[in-house]
Amino acid sequence: MDLLLLLKAAVMGVVEGLTEFLPISSTGHLILAGALLDFADGKAKVFEIAIQSGAILAVVIVYWARLAGAVIHLPTSEGARRFVLNVAIGFLPAAVIGLLAYKTIKAYLFNAPVVATSFIVGGLVILWAESRQQGHEPRVAHADTMSPWDAFKVGLVQCLGMIPGTSRSGATIIGGMLLGLSRRAATDFSFFLAIPTLVGAGAYTLWKERALLSAADLPMFATGFVVSFLAAWVCVRWLLRYIATHRFTAFAWYRIAFGGVVLLTHFMGWVHWTE
């Protein structure tokens, strides 16, 4: 057993768990961490996507009562059926566009200018969205009251998260706010939408790249999964408390600064910002 490899897997798990659900792009942080740890080959890229399932498990645990209730009451509750339908509708655009655009995104968008621009533009959009929220009463206060049309629009916005550096959670949360959802409703629905989206992406990647993997990789993947779960569990619980009294402005400035870090590390040759 390679203890150094397991340590690298644990560090990557922490990075994944802490950044997956914040509006700051896990992709950009994983690329930087992978470069610094010399953990950036083809197998490592599969690892990064696979351990998202650990982060998703944290969401399932935090929202267990809500999710279990929807499943149990699906045959008898209109609210439960609307919830499941909204998640399915919101997931559909990413499923279709992801399958169609996967190769193009991987070939042309994983580079420093795109990642840096996505970070900086995303930060500016967050600042704009938060300033727009001031004095405006949200149209949708709770995720449970979203319409299928609301879910579809948020699902379309989620597709922007496929652009490296944009952030899936950032696209869905801030996009949801711009579409009239409250900060809490947008955050909750972003978490719910992450479950099929990230599990689907992980399963698809593992199947597609299965030739790269072997039984010897199980300890590495298990370590990343467990650590990602623990870090995400802490992060999700913290974020739900944070948004009750704070705006996302701090994340916007962080994104803008990190975009500068991307450009600096690229032009100095410290990090290879490509797939």
Per-residue tokens: 171: 């696209």
DSSP string of the chain, one letter each residue: --HHHHHHHHHHHHHHHHHTTTTT-HHHHHHHHHHHHT--SHHHHHHHHHTHHHHHHHHHHHTHHHHHHHHHTTTT-HHHHHHHHHHHHHHHHHHHHHHHHHHHHHHHT-SHHHHHHHHHHHHHHHHHHHHHHTT---SB-SGGG--HHHHHHHHHHHGGGGSTTS-HHHHHHHHHHHTTB-HHHHHHHHHHHHHHHHHHHHHHHHHHTGGG--GGGHHHHHHHHHHHHHHHHHHHHHHHHHTTT--SHHHHHHHHHHHHHHHHHHHTTS-----
Neighbouring-strand partners of residue 140: 181
Q: Write down the pLDDT at residue 206.
A: 86
Residue 181 phi/psi, 5-degree rounding, is -85, 150
User: Look-up: residue for tokens 């569990």?
Assistant: 233
Q: Taking 90 as the threshold, does the pLDDT of residue 143 lie above it?
A: yes
Domain assignment present for residue 275? The answer is no
Domain assignment present for residue 63? The answer is yes
Q: Write down the pLDDT at residue 117.
A: 96
Per-residue tokens: 260: 């500068």
Q: Write down the pLDDT at residue 144.
A: 92
Give 208 or 159, the one with higher predicted confidence. Answer: 159
Domain assignment present for residue 273? The answer is no
Chain-centroid distance, C-alpha 30: 12
Q: Taking 90 as the threshold, does the pLDDT of residue 178 lie above it?
A: yes
273 residue type, one letter: W
| Confidence grade of residue 275 (pLDDT, cut at 50, 70, 90) | low
Q: Taking 90 as the threshold, does the pLDDT of residue 96 lie above it?
A: yes
Domain assignment present for residue 274? The answer is no
For residues 82-108, average pLDDT: 92
Q: Taking 80 as the threshold, does the pLDDT of residue 34 lie above it?
A: yes
Q: Write down the pLDDT at residue 102.
A: 82
Q: Write down the pLDDT at residue 103.
A: 83
Q: Taking 70 as the threshold, does the pLDDT of residue 236 lie above it?
A: yes
Domain assignment present for residue 84? The answer is yes
For residues 147-174, average pLDDT: 96
Handedness of CA 90, 96, 98, 104 (dihedral sign): negative
Beta carbons within 10 angstroms of residue 205's beta carbon: 18
Q: Write down the pLDDT at residue 1.
A: 61
Query: pLDDT digits over 179-220, tens only?
Result: 999 999 999 999 999 999 999 888 888 888 888 888 889 999
For residues 138-147, average pLDDT: 94
Write out the residue range of the structural domain in which residue 67 sits: 3-267
Domain assignment present for residue 39? The answer is yes
User: Look-up: residue for tokens 């099929």?
Assistant: 196
Beta carbons within 10 angstroms of residue 250's beta carbon: 11
Percent of the chain topping pLDDT 70: 99
Q: Taking 80 as the threshold, does the pLDDT of residue 260 lie above it?
A: yes
How does the average pLDDT of the chain come out, rounded? 93
Structural domains in the chain (count): 1
